[in-house]
Amino acid sequence: MRAQQAPPGLAGFVADVAASRERIVFSLEDGTRAALVPVEDLDALEAMEDREDIADAARAMTEPGSVPWEQVKADLGL
């Protein structure tokens, strides 16, 4: 989403986060929270998730047994 398409005022917060590289956390009265983070933080989080996914896949590859491709497709309804 382009910042200009966001609700009024949000583009200013986006510009502040991009310039300062500081995080902004928004909280609602019900405790719901969301954050604007610098893209560098997002990149770091995504890289961490990728490493975890790779480690999970490597562990799965060491498990004994296998499932035939046709069975996987049938289980997924493909």
Q: What is the pLDDT of residue 2?
A: 78
Assess contact for 35 and 26: CB atoms under 8 A. yes
Question: Is the overall model pTM greater than 0.75, yes or no?
Answer: no
Q: What is the pLDDT of residue 36?
A: 95
Q: How many residues does the chain have?
A: 78
Per-residue pLDDT of the chain (78 residues; tens, 9 = 90+): 777 777 888 889 999 999 999 999 999 999 999 999 999 999 999 999 999 999 999 998 898 888 889 999 999 999
Q: What is the pLDDT of residue 47?
A: 98
Give kind and range of the element (H or E) at residue 27.
Answer: strand 24-27
Q: What is the pLDDT of residue 61?
A: 87
